Structure 1
Amino acid sequence: MPKNKPKKFRQDEHIVDNIELNIWEALIPVFALVGMLAYNVYVFGDEAIGGSNQFILLMGGAVAAIVGFFNKVSYKQMLAEVAENVKSTTGALLILLMVGALAGTWLISGIIPAMIYYGLQILNPTIFLAACVVISAIISIATGSSWTTAATVGIALIGIGEALGISLGMTAGAVLSGAYFGDKMSPLSDTTNLAPAMAGGELFDHIKYMTITTVPTILVTLVVFIILGFTIDATGSADTETILNSIDAS
């Protein structure tokens, strides 16, 4: 099948030759990357994320470069495109690097324990699961990280849920529901920043359109957990001081 004729388009006042690929040529690097990652996971199992996956990603990039060379794309142009893509994702990468430091700073300075303490004042077995969703969502929006929320507030709420006699699975589900909702809605979230950066959109436009699906979902989730709260038979009381002491010691 003959190649399409080169197209010329003006970009930053420079004429760039671009050979348009057909769909199968464009998918070669994708199939190669997926295949190598699958084989890597098959061979190394859980240890694949320890370092070998990074080499697979580099090999996938090499396959893409070979396809580019085959279609007469210069090495200089490839580097320029890579630099442009990295530039567009710099904000998300910085957020990803700093979110861990932010969570640690909040924990050491007492911000997260204070949030937990005052949030726990309103908890009782009937509204506990719904409160888990709300508290986790607020903390996740503030930190921009669902994992940070689950590793801090989530641990405290699960401990309180056990003290109240509430199912561990229900409590964990409520925490994760709120945490992932907050992660999607937070302008500090790495994935929320990365998606519009890669697509060339605006951050808050991205968040606005995500509310179309995420807000109804979290409302349905809240209704479900409220109903569960009225139906479960919980006994005991939350030992707030013990939970906060365990967080301070961690």
Structure 2
Amino acid sequence: MIVYKTEEELELMRASAKVLAQAHGEVAKLIKEGVTTRQLDQRAEEFIRDNGGIPSFKGYNDFPFSLCISPNSVVVHGFPSDYTLKDGDIISVDGGVFLNGYHSDSAYTYPVGNVAPEILALLQRTKESLYLGIEQAVAGNRMGDISYAVQQHVEKQGYGVVRELVGHGVGKKLHERPEVPNYGKRGSGLKLQTGLVIAIEPMVNLGTKQIVQEKDGWTIRTKDKMPSAHFEHTVVVRKDKAEVLTSFEYIEKALQ
């Protein structure tokens, strides 16, 4: 069943999304060579709890951390660890906040130090594809319009769009219906209605679209070991223009 949100519920979700955006900003301040991914996870959890929230991911299907942190060829669901950030790395940070009975979910991929130009281009194009998808999240459009907008933008650059992992509805549960694929046909799929809240999250690989799962049962890596980028916002379908609940403003301020 798809759950559409009332304006009162959306107000509660905005508060959750703001804490998440600010937590991302706190993590962004720490991202540099020599920092471990575990330190980033600890800072996010501390900030979220200090601001009345609960990390959505911690304990979700027994996931043991507050963030999914995925360096280089890891697409998503990477475990924070003693891995130390190195010059030339990219790192996806994906987090969620549960506050006021509602979840929010967003992700950002960071360059660390001097990153190869072709990898920086991957990050830029993936981020652009997220916003192109968001532009299609208006009432009367179809899910395939979002999916197609993401797919066509990155595939024309020669990148691989991950098929097995998709965006999703967000609300009282972290993952709700419907699924939001990053590939598809215009005019196909669910008709979008006002009040639908979805996480749009392009996962785009520099090489092949194929992925493999590691033995830990969580970590997803590109099959060819090439880098992967991931950007995500929690978005409300509206009549004329989608409302983005999460924000990258605190990240961008920290990176200045």
Instruction: Decide: shared fold, TM above 0.5.
Output: no
TM-score (norm 2): 0.27
TM-score (norm 1): 0.28
Would you tell me which structure has more strand in proportion to its own residues? 2
Q: Which has the higher contact order (CA 8 A, sep 6+)?
A: 2
Would you tell me which structure has more helix in proportion to its own residues? 1
